[in-house]
Amino acid sequence: GAVVSQHPSRVICKSGTSVKIECRSLDFQATTMFWYRQFPKQSLMLMATSNEGSKATYEQGVEKDKFLINHASLTLSTLTVTSAHPEDSSFYICSARDPRTASEAFFGQGTRLTVV
Amino acid sequence: RKEVEQDPGPFNVPEGATVAFNCTYSNSASQSFFWYRQDCRKEPKLLMSVYSSGNEDGRFTAQLNRASQYISLLIRDSKLSDSATYLCVVTLIYNQGGKLIFGQGTELSVKP
């Protein structure tokens, strides 16, 4: 089946630095990918919709200048957490749907970010 | 009101029990409905899609009532391996490429 790969799976960074997370669709082209964040014991919250070749659409309350999204190709979207703070520590997951099957959404493995 | 609401958990049940999860959604324009399963510290995985006619997959049965905006998941003869968090998921507008809205999840713990 279709696969979405996310990298890195785990990262620890210092406050004030930036972290880039990559999300790739391995065997299908995704014009749209989604970025979610999940805090412990909470559900996934949609942060933004990544659109290939155009600006991302951010959900209410998500700072676009802090969470930079780039979707430069049909198989790759990146999320950069800029000037990270400890409160940004969370589990970040991307997802995409295979337009050929038009049903199941596939998720990357997630990135556990810890800001110290 | 949350867009997708689920039973608060956790559910603690013995092996072999039947467990029912309930979910309601607020937007009547919702298009597609799913149950996902998420194990601790892992990404969600699709358990099953939910159709108006109801659908069954082995020990799992899902139901959708569009009039009541209600979705359910029934697990029969629960196994230890069923322990996980179950997420009710709704998509709003199909041509947005699959934007998923998640319920808060209901944690299930199956005990020997």
B24-36, pLDDT tens digit by residue? Answer: 999 888 878 999 9
Residue with token string 């198989």: A75
Task: Give the distance from residue B105's alpha carbon to the nearest chain A alpha carbon, in angstroms.
Answer: 6
Digit-coded pLDDT (tens) for A51-79: 888 899 999 999 999 999 999 899 999 99
> Which residues of chain A make contact with B104, given a CB cutoff of 8 A?
42-43
Digit-coded pLDDT (tens) for B49-98: 898 888 999 999 999 999 999 999 999 999 999 999 999 999 876 555 56
Contact B99, B89 (CB under 8 A): no
Is A93 in Cβ contact with B43 (below 8 Å)? yes
Task: Give the distance from residue A15's alpha carbon to the nearest chain B alpha carbon, in angstroms.
Answer: 23
Provide residues of A within 8 Å CB-CB of chain B.
Answer: 30-32, 34, 36, 42-46, 49, 91, 93, 95-97, 99, 102-105, 107-110, 112
